[in-house]
Every structure is written in C-alpha cells, then in structure tokens.
Amino acid sequence: MLGRAVDLPQLAGSADELRASLTSLTRFGLEKIEFSCLTPLFLPHFSGRGWRPKNGHTAIVTAKLGTHVVTTDPVALTSDPQFYTELSWELESQIIRRLKVDHVPIRVECHSISKRGKQECLGYIIMPLATAVLGVESDPNWHKLLGGPSVPHKKPPSIRLALCLRNTKVRLSF
C-alpha cells in the first residue's frame, strides 16, 4: 500500500486529534502515514460595472497571493462584464495563518487584452487576507479599481467580489 494517497472531505476535529488517530493506525501494519491539511481560499462572485468597453477586446482578472497567481478565463470587455470563474488557492492552514500574521494582501488586477495580445491594466484592488474568516462566506462587495486609465468626470470602474476560506480538506498518504 506504500505510495497511495487519499483525499478525505472535511473531517471533524483538529489537526492534532487527527494526527493522534492516524498514529494509532500504524499498529495495523501501515508503516508510515503522512497527512496534510489544505484550506481552500477563494474569490467567488466576479462581476464588473462601469468598465469602458472596447470592440474586440477581452477582459481577465488576475489575483496574486505572494508568489501564487491565478487568472480567470477571458470574457468580452463590456461595461458590465460577468466572470464565471472562481479563483482559488489550496494552502496549508499554517501558511494561511503566517500570511495573515505577516499582513500579506491579495492583489486583484483587471486587464483588457486586444486581438493582437496587447494587455492594458484597467485597475487593481488590494484585499487584506485578514478579512477572510474560516467557514464564513461573506457577501460580495463592490470595490473601485485603482491605478487604471483616468477619464475626467467619470466614476472609476469597479469589481464585485468576496474573499472566503472554506473548511479544511485532508490529504492522506500511506
């Protein structure tokens, strides 16, 4: 059985309780059991408003958490684009805790892409990771995009999203 991995959906109890239970399994002939607890961090509910449409351009949203980068699928650049992609990272709970303590933010950038592949930044927002609470899905909020091209006497474009932490997913290897 050596080298097999199993994903277990949400288990009750802490990681220490699970570790204690797993060590008792070694009495049944399993020599080595390793496990890691992954906590999905995700950004759902993407939509935009007040964007400046351009003919033949597409829009993407990129989210950066430290060195981890995730991107939505491209959609047509309209005044109110709808993104049907959920951006997520699966990180160990200790890493998420460390990122929160270090005040590492999530940078969400919006770009338009021309038919020739040229990218233009439409703006960005900075989301503090500390606002994510485990198991609590917050309502999505509108955020004004910063750093995009400015147009006098017009409101800046905005994006609607929420930041959530899902319950822990456990991965066993034996």
Structural domains of the chain ordered from first start? 5-39 (no CATH), 41-166 (2.60.40.150)
Question: What is the rounded CA–CA span in Å between residue 151 and residue 153?
Answer: 6
Number of Cβ atoms within 10 Å of the Cβ of 107: 15
Closest to 50 measured CA to CA, from 126, 124, 144, 120: 144
Q: Given this model, what pLDDT does residue 24 score?
A: 56
Coil vs helix vs strand at 41: strand
Q: Given this model, what pLDDT does residue 139 score?
A: 84
Dihedral sign for Cα atoms in the order 164, 127, 108, 143: positive
Query: What's the predicted TM-score (pTM) here?
Result: 0.73
Q: Given this model, what pLDDT does residue 130 score?
A: 83
Residues in the chain where the model's pLDDT stays below 50: 1-12
Strand ranges (DSSP E) for the chain? 5-8, 34-43, 46-49, 58-65, 68-71, 75-76, 82-83, 87-92, 105-113, 119-128, 141-144, 158-161, 164-165, 169-173
